[in-house]
């Protein structure tokens, strides 16, 4: 009974905090009477009108297509390189300076180069997204592998397990909690990079939609688009948590959660 109550209290408090924030927004915007900052009720009304439309959902579909492609590329490269530098001292010494140099470059800084090399279509946008998402996944994967106890590695050597078998049956499962942590960071960061990449290039996507509404001085629609991004980010994170719970069921069971 106590556990059930605790499970209900957490979500209820979250809803109350969200409603309180909307209330503060409504009161402040109403008192300020500022045209650039509409009230929460105005934004809600515009969201109700805009979100279900085929035009808006088409923009969302374009953004999510780029998001999915960039995320998939980043996960493939990040996990692969993370395993390599985490398992091999030689690879770490060789690649670390290059990777650390790239990791220090903000994803937004490569947009001009991506546009020159890949053009103004989806390829440049996906490249920017993949570049920005790769490093959180890579770093977490590498750290997860490095954190595997030496006893586990020694046991694998004593059993004469092959390299492929060690990686697939020992190292990856052991590093999986850390890998999933990197992927979860990328889930939220991906939306940021999608919007940034859509401020230039082809004229579609949620980022382009926000620019259009700003230029049209349609501030309720602008804020409705921003609010949608928050809801979308929350939904993506919740879906990922469900997947993570299933993939790491053994880990949460061992931790008593």
pLDDT per residue over 30-46, tens digit each?
A: 887 777 788 889 999 99
Does residue 19 sit within a domain? Answer: no
CATH number at residue 158: 1.10.3720.10
Confirm if 82 and 145 have CB atoms less than 8 A apart. Answer: yes
Does residue 175 sit within a domain? Answer: yes
pLDDT reported for residue 2: 58
Does residue 211 sit within a domain? Answer: yes
Helix or strand run (H / E) with residue 40: helix 40-50
pTM: 0.88
pLDDT reported for residue 31: 82
Q: What is the pLDDT of residues 89-118, one digit of tens each?
A: 898 999 999 999 999 999 989 999 999 999
User: Mind giving me the DSSP string for 158-182?
Assistant: HTT--HHHHIIIIIHHHHHHHHHHH
254 has a pLDDT exceeding 70: no
Confirm if 189 and 106 have CB atoms less than 8 A apart. Answer: no
Does residue 15 sit within a domain? Answer: no
Does residue 106 sit within a domain? Answer: yes
Does residue 12 sit within a domain? Answer: no
How sure is the predictor about 78, in pLDDT bands with cuts at 50, 70 and 90? very high
* Domain range enclosing 74: 40-254
How sure is the predictor about 122, in pLDDT bands with cuts at 50, 70 and 90? very high
Please give the share of the chain, as a percent, with pLDDT higher than 70: 90
Measured between alpha carbons, how far is 103 from 89 in angstroms, rounded to an integer? 19
178 has a pLDDT exceeding 90: yes
Tally of domains within the chain: 1
């Amino acid at each position: 009974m106590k556990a059930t109550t605790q499970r209900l209290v957490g979500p209820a408090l979250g809803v109350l905090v969200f409603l309180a924030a909307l209330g503060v927004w409504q009161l402040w915007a109403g008192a300020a009477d500022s045209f650039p900052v509409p009230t929460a009720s105005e934004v809600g009304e515009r969201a109700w009108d805009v979100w279900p439309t085929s035009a808006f959902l088409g923009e969302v579909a374009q953004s999510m297509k780029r998001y999915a492609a960039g995320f998939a590329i980043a996960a493939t490269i990040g996990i692969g390189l993370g395993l390599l530098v985490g398992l091999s001292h030689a690879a770490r010494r060789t690649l670390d300076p290059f990777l650390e140099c790239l990791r220090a470059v903000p994803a937004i800084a490569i947009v001009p180069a991506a546009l020159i090399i890949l053009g103004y279509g989806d390829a440049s946008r996906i490249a920017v997204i993949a570049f920005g998402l790769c490093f959180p996944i890579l770093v977490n994967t590498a750290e997860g592998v490095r954190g595997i106890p030496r006893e586990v590695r020694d046991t694998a050597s004593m059993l004469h397990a092959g390299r492929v078998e060690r990686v697939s049956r020992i190292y990856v499962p052991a590093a999986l909690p850390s890998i999933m942590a990197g992927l979860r960071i990328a889930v939220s960061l991906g939306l940021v990079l999608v919007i940034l990449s859509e401020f230039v290039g082809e004229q579609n996507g949620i980022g382009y939609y926000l620019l259009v509404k700003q230029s049209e001085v349609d501030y309720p629609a602008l804020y409705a688009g921003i609010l949608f991004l928050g809801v979308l980010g929350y939904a993506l994170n919740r879906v990922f948590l469900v997947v993570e719970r299933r993939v790491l069921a053994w880990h949460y069971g061992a931790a008593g959660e």
